[in-house]
Amino acid sequence: MSYVDEVLERVIAQNPAQPEFHQAVKEVLESLRVVIEADEDKYRKEALLERITTPERAILFRVPWVDDKGQVQVNNGFRVQFNSAIGPYKGGLRLHPSVNLGIIKFLGFEQIFKNSLTGLPIGGGKGGSDFDPKGKSDREIMAFCQSFMTELFKYIGADTDVPAGDIGVGAREIGFLYGQYKRITGLYEGVLTGKGLSYGGSLVRTQATGYGLVYLTDELLKCHGTSMEGKTVSVSGAGNVAIYAIEKSQQLGAKVVTCSDSTGWIYDADGIDVALLKEVKEVRRARLTEYKAAKPTAEYHEGKGVWSVKVDVALPCATQNELNLDDAKALVANGVYAVCEGANMPTTLEATKYLQENGVLFVPGKASNAGGVATSALEMSQNSERLSWSAEEVDSKLKNIMVNIYHNIDDASKKYGMEGDYVAGANIAGFLKVVNAMEAQGIV
């Protein structure tokens, strides 16, 4: 059996009931076949694939907190420190009831390659909890965040592990987490990114994932003789990534006609009103039914449906496995030209294959959503030098990073004989840098 297949079997056997982690590993290892098979004995002897698919450390902890009725609640807390070959562990914290160890491992594994692609010195990690922030008061959110950090602080630090936001974690949560870290350790340091501007945050970090996604998509289109200008676009999600993907698409002259949340979706033929969407989601923390209430000409539909709309470009920005084979078929039937992932692994393996086989330009999240973590690394640099850069400076660095990522994955796809396969390009380019550092650092 080939070394890649041996390790795939081993990962599945050793990590039972973690389907998202299996999926992420399978996608990466399938892409790496060509690299591994060129020097299989060496990689097998070094157990490189076993090492890269095994977290350096996984921390599981209890998070007790008291709700507004005086009832004690208990959640599971996680931090997976996956790979520190090229820098301190870096990756977000997710608060969502679906969070379990397998989800955090898939996200941490993806983060290794994504962080490598940014070209910045950051290793891969991820954390979170099955705590559900929906419907909680600010006091309950603070109680949870303080309890979570009271355990997590032992394992993180500005030079060891630097968490940030992800689903359910934005500026409010980062503020509470930072306050508790500082209170316990006495350290005013860049231990978290996505901080508020008054206490060490970076300009443009809030916008960075969505903006970066659209910068990369625009470069992809330009290299294929077109651009975002005049395109019709569908976006899923209505959170941090979705909102700023919509905003930047509109700035570049595209028309975004959809967004969604976990209960329903909006079709707005006039183009999404991004100021209204921000008011509904960032200020009121409400459902998309309120968008419809404020803009009656828009359509609101319960459930899933964004991918049934005819568009040129689709940007999935909600969550994993939200774009399945049927959705891919609908997009292709409607003539979609490009699909670029804003979320982490939003497209199933079957859907990805179908899109690629039908000539759709497809960029995986580990390349196209890397602008968020890249700007987090810029926030770390600013914190280290105790300076803050202007919005123009951060935005221009972000744009350069995204353009470079596109060319890097495009070059890798060509070099390994798979031109236009950006999944392979991203996985190979991300892997080679990490593996080079792992080999240089010995058996650790």
CB atoms within 10 A of CB 222: 13
Cα 408 from Cα 404, distance rounded (Å)? 6
Is 340 in contact with 369 (CB distance < 8 Å)? no
Among 313, 317, 328, 429, binds ligand NDP (CB under 6 A): 317
Q: Look at residue 362 and give its three-state secondary structure.
A: strand
CB of 348 closer than 8 Å to CB of 423: no
Reported as type and span, the H/E element at residue 33 is helix 19-37
Q: How far is the CB of 46 from ligand NDP (least distance, A)?
A: 31
From ligand 2IT, ligand NDP, none, interface partner of 328 (C-beta below 5 to 8 A by class): none
The one of ligand NDP, ligand 2IT, none whose footprint includes residue 218, by CB under 5 to 8 A per kind, is none
Determine the Cα–Cα distance for residues 4 and 43; give it in Å rounded to an integer: 10
The contact pattern for ligand NDP, residues 44-83, with x = CB under 6 A and - = no contact, is ----------------------------------------
Shortest spacing between CB 214 and ligand NDP, in angstroms? 13
Cross-strand bridge partners of residue 300:
266
Q: Which does 207 bind (CB under 5 to 8 A by kind): ligand NDP, ligand 2IT, none?
A: none
Q: Give the nearest distance from C-beta 132 to ligand NDP in angstroms.
A: 9
Interface positions with ligand 2IT (CB under 6 A): 90-92, 114, 164, 166, 193, 344, 372-373, 376
* DSSP three-state, residue 249: helix
| Residue position matching structure tokens 């982490």 | 344
Give residues with Cβ within 8 angstroms of 31, minimum separation 6. Answer: 423, 424, 426, 427, 428
Amino acid at 84: S
Q: Answer yes or no whether residue 209 interacts with ligand NDP by CB under 6 A.
A: yes
Instruction: Considering only the stretches 30-38, 79-87, 317-325, 417-425, report the one whose residues sit in contact with ligand NDP under the rule CB under 6 A.
Output: 317-325
| Given 100, 227, 262, 334, the residue binding ligand NDP (CB under 6 A) | 262
Distance CA 145, CA 398 (A): 29
Catalytic residue among 126, 231, 292, 397: 126
Q: Is 342 in the site for ligand NDP (CB under 6 A)?
A: yes
Closest CA to 362 of 412, 411, 328, 311: 328
CA distance 245 to 387: 28
Residue 193 near ligand NDP by CB under 6 A:
no
Q: Which residues are registered as beta bridge partners of 267?
A: 258, 299
User: Nearer to ligand 2IT by C-beta: 181 or 267?
Assistant: 181
The residue within the footprint of ligand NDP, chosen from 103, 145, 149, 167 (CB under 6 A), is 167
- Is residue 281 annotated as part of the catalytic site, yes or no? no
Q: Active-site residues: which are they?
A: 126
Catalog residues that contact ligand NDP under the rule CB under 6 A.
96, 98, 165-168, 209, 237-242, 261-263, 317-319, 342-344, 369, 372
